[in-house]
A = this chain, B = another copy of it.
């Protein structure tokens, strides 16, 4: 298996893009021991992530998203190391993460609408279109009420 399965390697930037955590956070997590030390390029000293590292990071990202403090994480990461026997738990956490991402996507769309609305609003103000201004202000208030649960993060 190992000979044919050329393990793909990732730079810190690719790992960041796939897991949704900034590179700085990946280094931070490694520095405080939340994730295991990542392999380094022989000559460069740069971090080299493999699939296993990414799985671990995804796991940590799930824990972080549920509000767990970084001091409590190492224990739970150890559980995640157990491999195939832990597949069920992995799926459970990843599914929860999927739902969070969906919520995040919805909130993002809402924010995009809100910003677009505000741009319209200022265009109307600049044009002196008072009727349109009033209309847009009303819509903005409606949207503002919906954007409440964006206080986390």
> What residues of chain A have their CB less than 8 Å away from a CB belonging to chain B?
5, 8, 10, 13-14, 17-21, 51, 54-55, 58-59, 61-62, 65-66, 83-84, 87-88, 90-91, 94-95, 97-98, 101-102, 104-105, 107-112, 114-116, 118-119, 122-123, 125-126, 128, 134, 137, 140-141, 143-144, 147-151
Contacts and interface: CB of A to CB of B under 8 A. Distances in A.
| Copies of this chain held together in the complex | 2
A94 B108 contact: no
Given A17-B107, A87-B123, 11 more contacts: A8-B141, A13-B151, A17-B144, A17-B150, A19-B111, A62-B147, A84-B125, A88-B126, A98-B119, A101-B112, A108-B108
The A contact surface, by secondary structure, is: helix
B144 A18 contact: yes
